[in-house]
Structure 1
Amino acid sequence: MAQNAVGRLFRSQNSSSLRQSIGSITQTRGISRHAVPTFTPTTSPELDQALNRFREELFIPFSLGQQQRRLMFRQKYADRLEQEPVTANLGEEEFLLRPMDPQSRPTKNEAIEVISLMKNTTDWKNLVPLLSGLRLSNRVLKSSRMEWIVRKAAEANALGVMLECAKQVERTGVQLNEVGFVQRLFFELHRKAQRAEFQGPEVTKAWSIATQLVGLMERPGHVQHDVAKDPKRRPFLIGILLELSAARALSEFGGKDQDGMVRLYSQRLLGSWPLGNFNGETTEWVAVDQMLQENIPIYNGMKLALQVQGVPHERSVAPALKNRLNELNQLIAKQLKNAPEKVQQKPTVGLVQAQLLYQG
């Protein structure tokens, strides 16, 4: 029926009638059902221009009604639309409809290129509206792309932006229920603390982000109902929480487990151990490197925990913690010994972390 209405619209030869008819169609969509994402100024004119293109050529058109999009994207209406400009209302914003080639609309790959232009926290604040607009426009990024975004955010000291994306899951689609993505996010929090030598404000910040992320995992949009696939039950996540809580105890609280978090996460780590990635028979280096990325934070977390006052004498956790630390020590030593020569010459991420934190 809508298509017939558009057809009747352009069969009219009378200019004023055309304007009147177009107006009647646009008024059926006076207010968008979606708020069109808005960007804030960045530190780069190139980035500002790229973000504006996504808003003007993708996000706004997808916020319009179906009939209005037809006016813009169907070539047979282009001349008429040029002759009779139409303004659509999007809330308090007015948008001038103009002919567009649907094949020229920004793509997901271009979105990745835009994100690569983000260099600091000022730039990265625009990630929330960018992901929101992509979701609005049915441009869903793959999990591997999301992991790449986490790495880039970490390089810009903008992991707090990833937390904000997760808080606004209904807008951004950033969910905390997929193991690979969550693992990358927590690994970067581990590296954030590691670069600060597990002392001072960076540890506090990493701990704050980590605990807020864990809290979000209990909320709608993030819950993983399959226990076997639930990231928050995995040793790598609990191990990083143990590492950060122990680092805080040693750095901020004079070595005391002031809030009981070190003891709590020690217990949880031991209980989650069967779900860990500890296969000593694996020799393929990509898999081994992934294992190191998971297990080095666990190893370091247990070492730090055993330095916190009272923990070495806690009968409910200390003996088991020491046994698991010894097991993991043997596994890591074996993996490092068998690292291929080319990997030793050009260390991978897991090997670098082992070289930084593993003492044998």
Structure 2
Amino acid sequence: MRIVIVTDAWSPQVNGVVRTLRAVTAELQKRGHQVHVLSPEGRRTVPMPYYPEIRLALTPSRVLGREIRSLSPDAIYIATEGPLGWAARRFCRRANIPFTSGFHTRFADYLALRVPIPGLVSASWSMLRDFHKPSQCVLVPTRSVAEDLERRAFTNLKVWTRGVDHTLFTPGKRAALDYPRPIMLHAGRIAPEKNIEAFLSLDLPGTKLLVGDGPQRADLEKRFPDAVFLGFRFDQDLARLMASADVFVFPSLTDTFGLVMLEAMASGTPVAAFDVPSPIDVVADGVTGVVDKHLKLAILRALALDRGKVHDGAQAFTWERTAQIFEESLKPIPGSSGRAANGITTSLAPSRSG
């Protein structure tokens, strides 16, 4: 099957959306599919308002439509509600082509933190609902997110869980770190929507270790000098930190999943989080971590959990299962060939930026 994925989120961005799409694409390739990713890579881009480090491609719908037609896809997945996503949606609507879409990010809630204008949040949710309304199937990461969207009148929802690389994230990577214990690790984008200040402001023994970068890093480093900021870490280096921490702290109130929680659990490190959507779906309370309305209590309780049981609890999450659900959710385009092919192709426009 030839599958076209349209996404506004792609390299060099470092986030859960990009990591999910890359992992699922690799698994689809193993299953014999050909995947074409249409992303901002190689296109003329502009900085995203309030997130200038994220570049958006303003490709017209007719141009993107020609690219999609040239690929003769058997199915189309629109991953994001950005400019490329809207362009693909307009093309599919005009051409009467069915598509599947994904709800990866609570943009309306993020926007409320950056631009507190009355009525903006409700208008943003209305826009998101309108975007997904014609979709044959809207993939959402957890049951609690689906329930929230159902209350907001979204339809055609299907839970699409996430996975973890169990060969990379493993308890076997655990090593001594030269910091006072307990070591409380957080990994992710350092931005207001991640609610990191709620973690850093807690009075706790040991070391608060942060992996990642983002617009709030300089301010938080100045305000919380006892915390250790390591910047981005990847692959084996990140896996070693995940396994070596005593607890993984996930203070976000708005994330739709949080892949880093799975990576910590697969490494044997328990998770401490608020009892909100995402953590309550991912963490088995009292087994793989602790969710509580008081983050400090969650951290202290999580430190006492059995790391072997934490690791065992993460085994149900695999990228193979994630790819299988994705494949089953695609809506075939009438008249398409349906032929299977090997490989992954990333469609590139001429390289420009500005």
Question: Is TM (by shorter chain) over 0.5?
Answer: no
Q: Which has the larger radius of gyration?
A: 1
The TM-score normalised by the length of structure 2 is 0.29
Structure 1 or 2: more helix by fraction: 1
**Greater RCO, 1 or 2 (C-alpha within 8 Å, sep 6+):** 2
Q: TM-score, normalised by structure 1?
A: 0.28
